[in-house]
Structure 1
Amino acid sequence: MAVTGLALVAYLFAHMLGNLKVFLGAADFDRYAAWLRTIGEPVLPYGAFLWIMRAGLVVAVGLHIIAAAQLSIRDRRARPVRYVHSQRARASFATSTMRWGGATLAVYLVWHILDLTVGVANRDYVDGRPFHNIVADFSVWWVNVIYLVALLMLGLHLNHGFWSAARTLGFAGGAIRTVGTLVSVVITGGFLAVPIGVMTGLVA
């Protein structure tokens, strides 16, 4: 769970950096999106790298969910009798929302693929014009609500998850907590900048 989680964090950071190119304008962003489809050529066919990466992400997310379920089952078996006093009062908000947050993010991931990758959830989707699709998408208020809520949940998940994964791999201490918080703020803020940019007219 720790290894797949950190791999997904690395992907999210790279994806966030790519998304921020939207502030450079339509030409630059569309050129960047087209370049992604040429990675690996001529060894790989056009667009093959993206599909390989997507398959890898599906495997990583699937293993992450399976590991979470296994750990939850082991936790319950280790303590079949509930505590007299709830332990949740001592837990941070991020800790107490990890399971529900993970489920919410899984649903959001499906929506995101249908919305901006496949385009069936975006009424104004135009194949080959990612900048247009983003602007059209985030010009709809309820779409922004979905993304804002999901991204805030992602920030909470990252904040606790990064520290937990680092501790599992043998790293601990206040510095790790600080790094985890910084990573979650940077990634969440970077993703939030895009819909906020469209809503405020900075991206149009």
Structure 2
Amino acid sequence: GAEPRMRDAMLGFGAGVMLAACSFSLIVPALAAARAAGAGISGSGMQVAAALLIGAGALMALERWLPHDYFEFASPSAAGGLDARQLKRVWLFVTAVALHNVPEGLAIGTAFGGGLAEGQALAAGIAIQDVPEGLVIAMALRGVGYRPGFAVALGALSGLVEPVAAVGGALVVAHAAIVLPWGLAFAAGAMLFVIGHEVVPESHRGGHPRLATAGLILGFALMMMLDTTLG
């Protein structure tokens, strides 16, 4: 029917948005930040790769050791008959998107704190990028039966993490510059784990893999465009 097809396409789209955010909002700036902090070309690559593996490992451990029923605290499953595993998958997805906003916000704050004129353009760009990310969170929560108000509020809250982190970054600009490449790449690793382990397999489970893949490419292209033209 139309609903599973739409769901697969939207999940694919979400995976594409996350993949592009991973590449252009996190990994590319992490490499640049590592070089700015004095690492050479190979050194910055090794540093970012190490942080990426640590981030992926951390989310893998979280996914493995947190019990499924831990995620039933705000669960719609009593009404919708959802299994705990599905809920856990959505909450991991929400966690990864929210988590990546912390170092992204830190990057804006560091740019502002360092007196960079492009800080303003960067802030505007990231605010616009947060729209598809918030939308993806809201759709994922809505898809597992959460009320529309709750889904939209959480989508918006995930983006609010960013200005808070930006203020922190501006206040501790000297220290933020040192941790920035690690934070960005850690978040990228966490996101990559969620995309590969949860979002892509889930988008293919409804039986419309081609539609899911088309959604992924579209999501990636849109987010890449937003990231590179606005960031």
TM above 0.5, yes or no, is no
Higher relative contact order (CA 8 A, sep 6+): 2
TM-score, length-normalised on structure 2?
0.29
Which has a greater percent of helix? 2
